[in-house]
């Protein structure tokens, strides 16, 4: 009986890859909690807030100009591999890599050129500006779109777990060295930057290994052919990523402007702990995307939709348990990181609810992409995020960090509900068309 269950699990790519990634990310997350404690011990909440601001500034320009091709490469690459069309796969890969590299360089240049204007708006001092300029060095190495797609399409979900564990362990040792040696703040921000660059380099190395195994290392030599459908799909996805920035980097910068650096530090700690839920849901959604692409490539949209619905139910249940545990137990552990007040306990639990919502609806977003409905993404995200920014300002001033998290939850629910209704209508229309064609044939 046990062997039968084990066989079924290991033959199901979604379950197998989720277990592999969950195991690795759980270990990395446990070590990451220790690292968070060490960072706060070394530089405090305000220092943590400064690093968060620098990272989010770099992330903002990375999101605005660095157009990564992960979604497009997964979707179209899966189609090419399904047809065993390696020449077409190489063309997609070359187009994806060129886009990733060129836009990463563009993001770095524009981010560097704009720093003085942005710093005037946020009233950053020269020291903060110098830290941000250092952090911008991570952008040219952020060409993860095509790289991660190659790894995922080769069904390898172990490499990410290995890299995550290695990086967190090395970081722990270096943080301890910094604390013992009593290094200044600059050491810790340089550590963040160097670790980010090394992590990106390790992913690139892993992708090259798979390109060698599949005889695709010569992909840069193939004649470039800008596939219109691939290009438009990629552009739509990246415009949506840009429009979706308010829920990420811009939120942190808004907290900095309206509430202060220390509040950024508190929010950053809460956000790190809130991602506890993603130790289960993150691996699931990452392993789900390639499989959904393959299912849709076989014209089984209904089957893909049922998988997404099941994952939604399981995620809400699991996230609800974590949120309840958080509010019950916060006095036992929260004080190691931030003051263990009832307010901070509720904030932590509320953020877990936000992460639960975004994780539960991740399958909807992925299937939306797989069904090639990205043309709807731009108006959906633009309208919902315009509403979000208005709510963010009003609720942040009235309820401070509570308002920030409430605005995030409202935005996530709005986008998911609209996409869900469009997908339901799209699948129903296709079924009606298929039924009509069948009747026509019998006539």
How far apart are the C-alpha atoms of 102 and 95, rounded to whole Å?
Answer: 11
Task: Taking the CA atoms of 261, 355, 32 and 161 in sequence, report the sign of the dihedral they define.
Answer: negative
Straight-line distance from the first to the last Cα atom of the chain, in angstroms, rounded to the nearest whole number: 51
Query: Per-residue pLDDT for the chain (443 aa), expressed as one digit of tens each?
Result: 434 434 444 445 555 555 555 555 666 667 777 888 899 989 998 899 999 999 999 988 988 888 878 888 888 888 888 788 888 888 888 988 888 899 999 999 999 999 999 999 999 999 999 999 999 999 998 887 788 888 878 766 677 778 888 898 999 999 999 999 999 999 999 999 999 999 989 988 888 888 888 788 888 888 876 777 888 887 877 787 777 776 777 888 889 989 988 899 899 889 887 766 666 555 566 667 777 877 887 777 788 888 888 888 888 888 888 889 999 999 998 888 888 999 999 999 999 999 989 988 988 988 888 887 878 888 998 899 999 999 999 999 999 999 999 999 999 999 999 999 998 887 665 555 553 444 344 44
How far apart are the C-alpha atoms of 242 and 229, rounded to whole Å?
Answer: 20
Residue-averaged pLDDT of the chain: 83
Closest CA relative to residue 96, chosen from 153, 149, 21: 149
How far apart are the C-alpha atoms of 412 and 63, rounded to whole Å?
Answer: 18
Contacts of 75 by beta carbon, 8 Å cutoff, 6+ apart? 233, 293, 369, 370, 372
> How many other C-beta atoms lie within 10 A of the C-beta of residue 196?
19
How confident is the model over 134-180, as pLDDT tens digits? 999 999 988 877 888 888 787 666 777 788 888 989 999 999 999 99
How far apart are the C-alpha atoms of 185 and 270, rounded to whole Å?
Answer: 21
The distance between the two most distant Cα atoms of the chain, rounded to a whole number of Å, is 85
Contacts of 9 by beta carbon, 8 Å cutoff, 6+ apart? 15, 16, 19
Contact 69, 145 (CB under 8 A): yes
Alpha-helical (H) ranges within 182-227 are 185-213
Length of the chain: 443
């Amino acid at each position: 009986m046990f062997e039968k269950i084990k066989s079924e699990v290991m033959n199901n790519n979604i379950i197998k890859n989720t277990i592999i990634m969950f195991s690795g990310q759980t270990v990395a997350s446990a070590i990451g909690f220790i690292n968070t404690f060490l960072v706060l011990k070394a530089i405090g909440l305000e220092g943590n807030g400064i690093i968060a601001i620098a990272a989010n500034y770099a992330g903002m320009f990375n999101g605005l100009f660095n157009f990564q091709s992960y979604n497009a490469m997964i979707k179209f690459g899966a189609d090419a591999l399904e047809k065993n069309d390696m020449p077409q796969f190489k063309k997609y890969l070359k187009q994806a890599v060129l886009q990733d590299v060129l836009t990463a360089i563009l993001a770095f240049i524009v981010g560097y050129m704009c720093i003085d204007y942005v710093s005037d708006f946020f009233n950053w001092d020269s020291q903060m500006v110098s830290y941000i300029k250092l952090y911008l060095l991570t952008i040219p190495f952020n060409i993860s779109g095509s790289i991660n797609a190659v790894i995922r399409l080769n069904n390898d979900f172990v490499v990410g777990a290995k890299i995550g564990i290695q990086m967190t362990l090395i970081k722990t040792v270096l943080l301890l060295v910094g604390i013992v040696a009593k290094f200044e703040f600059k050491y810790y921000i340089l550590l963040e930057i160097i670790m980010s660059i090394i992590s990106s380099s390790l992913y690139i190395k892993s992708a090259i290994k798979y390109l060698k195994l599949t005889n695709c290392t010569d992909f840069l030599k193939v004649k470039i052919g800008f596939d219109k459908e691939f290009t438009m799909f990629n552009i739509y996805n990246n415009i949506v990523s840009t429009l979706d920035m308010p829920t990420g980097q811009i939120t942190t910068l808004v907290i900095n402007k309206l509430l202060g650096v220390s509040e950024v530090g508190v929010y950053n700690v809460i956000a790190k702990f809130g991602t506890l839920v993603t130790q289960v849901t993150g691996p699931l959604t990452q392993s789900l995307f390639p499989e959904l692409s393959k299912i849709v490539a076989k014209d089984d949209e209904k089957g893909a939709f049922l998988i997404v619905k099941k994952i939604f139910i399981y995620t809400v249940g699991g996230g609800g348990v974590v949120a309840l545990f958080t509010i019950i137990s916060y006095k036992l552990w929260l004080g190691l990181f931030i003051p263990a007040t009832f307010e901070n306990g509720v904030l932590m639990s509320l953020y877990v609810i936000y992460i639960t919502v975004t994780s539960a609806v991740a399958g909807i977003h992925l299937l939306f992409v797989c069904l090639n409905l990205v043309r709807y993404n731009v108006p959906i995200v633009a309208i919902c995020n315009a509403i979000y920014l208005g709510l963010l300002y009003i609720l942040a001033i009235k309820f401070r960090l509570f308002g920030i998290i409430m605005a995030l939850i409202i935005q996530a629910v709005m986008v998911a509900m609209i996409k869900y209704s469009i997908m339901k209508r799209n699948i129903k229309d296709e079924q009606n068309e298929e039924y009509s064609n069948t009747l026509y044939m019998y006539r």
